[in-house]
Chains A and B, each alone.
Chain A
Amino acid sequence: MILARVDGHAVSSIGHPSLIGQTIVLCTPIDEAGVSVGNPFAAVDTMGAGRHAHVFITTDGSWTQGTVHDDHSPIRNQIVGIVD
């Protein structure tokens, strides 16, 4: 699990079929104080996290395959919680 901040989003119309129609956000890993601690990565957002929201991300690919209903999806990162 990764604690991260939503810093942007990406739009794609050509990609793996499981990714089309998903909301893709660009996130920066943060520490407990909210300070950036790593390089940005992309994640699927099914929860509607707003800009600069602190989120909880799973890197469990098999969980995300269930979310996108595709057993052949290569997607790993997915927002599974929004931090209060």
Chain B
Amino acid sequence: MNHPENLHYADSHEWISVENGIGTVGITDHAQNALSDVVFVDLPKLGKVVKQKEPSATVESVKAASDIYSPVSGEITEVNSHLSSSPELVNSSPYENGWIFKIKLSNPDEMSSLKNVSAYLALLGK
């Protein structure tokens, strides 16, 4: 499984990469593999203000619905509308085409609560 070095990881298996105060959020390769067969993504509303660890989107696999928790607090600035017609991008490209939303960080200090790749791999027992 693939877990890029330049990302920050939440214990609940989301990743975030931040550029100019805007974070791009998705789920990890481990998470997409565990869910498998994503058939629907419920995207957050633009402009919605979310807190860190708050359920902010839902990924539905054949079997079950799973909440996606925002790794940081902030305001949703963009959602990946391709996922409406191609939810399987979450499986096939979890770090690129399968990103879920972008968020304007309201408290950048929260980044320090996230894991780097080696800590995340340790969480997965690898």
Chain A complexes with chain B: no
Which A residues have a C-beta under 8 Å from some C-beta of B? none
